[in-house]
Structure 1
Amino acid sequence: MKKYTLITNPFSIPTTDGKVIKEHFGNATTGDSNISIAHMVAPPGWHEPFQTPTFDEFTFIIKGKKQFIIEDEVVILEAGQSIKIEKNTRVQYSNPFENPCEYIAICTPAFSMDAVNREE
């Protein structure tokens, strides 16, 4: 038995807002509830509602910029920068910039819609 898992065709999660989400490991791809790793591209003008996830989320920016509103603080990350947002923190993610933002998101435990707690 192999002691590794190779993902050559990540699961593309359907969206309605133009964001590209390709999950390499996690609930949708491997059934792993401990961690999720996804490659994402957020188009210019993209945003999500505020949310208070029950998982830690690590984000590494590959290209472009991404805006975070964490509690009441605005944080902007650029290519080569990363951030960890602790679980139970109110946050909003967006790309109010002119270029797409490409990034990697890692969630522990794994991302699930039930754990996001998005505001209406």
Structure 2
Amino acid sequence: MVIHITSPIVIQAAGNKPKHIEEFIGRVNSQTESVSIARMKSPAGWVEPGQTPEFDEYTVVLSGKLRVTTRTDVIDVKAGEAIIVPQGEWVQYSTPGKEGAEYIAV
């Protein structure tokens, strides 16, 4: 059966500043356990606590710059770029630029 999602649900995010998460597909909005697809809007200076995901994370940056810090690297992902963080890899996301960032997270 086809499921039409007409709007996302807004979810509270962890971090030092408010971050806007619009979940289109996932546990909260569509009761989908196998995947989560959300549009994120994080303000300038936002930093979230580090995490070790239990699944691969795919992120496409739409505007601004998203900083991805791992145990061995710091990568600035800019608009039009993407990054894959494998399951079990410690990672911390932040938006150090004055413009913040908008991105799609899967």
Question: Which TM class, normalised by the smaller chain length?
Answer: over 0.9
Question: Identity over aligned residues, as a percent?
Answer: 38
The letter of the residue matching 2:4 is L
In the TM superposition, residue 14 of structure 1 has moved relative to its aligned partner by 2.4
- Corresponding residue SS for 1:53: coil
Question: 5+ residue gaps in structure 1?
Answer: 107-120
- 2:4 pairs with 1:6: yes
Matched, 1:73 2:73: yes
- Aligned partner of 1:40 in structure 2 is 40
May I ask how many residue pairs the two structures share in their alignment?
104
The 5 Å alignment of 1:11-26 reads 11-15=9-13, 17-26=17-26
TM-score by length of 2: 0.92
* Distance apart, 1:100 and its partner CA: 2.0
| Structure 1 runs (4+) greater than 4 angstroms displaced | none
Please report the RMSD computed on the Cα atoms of aligned residues, expressed in angstroms.
Answer: 1.2
Does 2:55 match 1:55?
A: yes
1: CA distance between counterparts of 2:92 and 2:13?
A: 17
- Cα deviation per residue 1:3-61 (whole Å; 9 max; x = unaligned)? 42221211110247310000000001111110000001010000111111111100000
State the one-letter code of the partner of 1:51.
Q
| Helix, strand or coil at the partner of 1:97 | coil
Distance 1:15 1:60 in 2: 18
Partner-residue secondary structure (3-state), 1:64? strand
Relative to the length of structure 1, the TM-score reads: 0.82
- Give, as a single letter, the amino acid of the residue that structure 1 aligns with 2:66: K
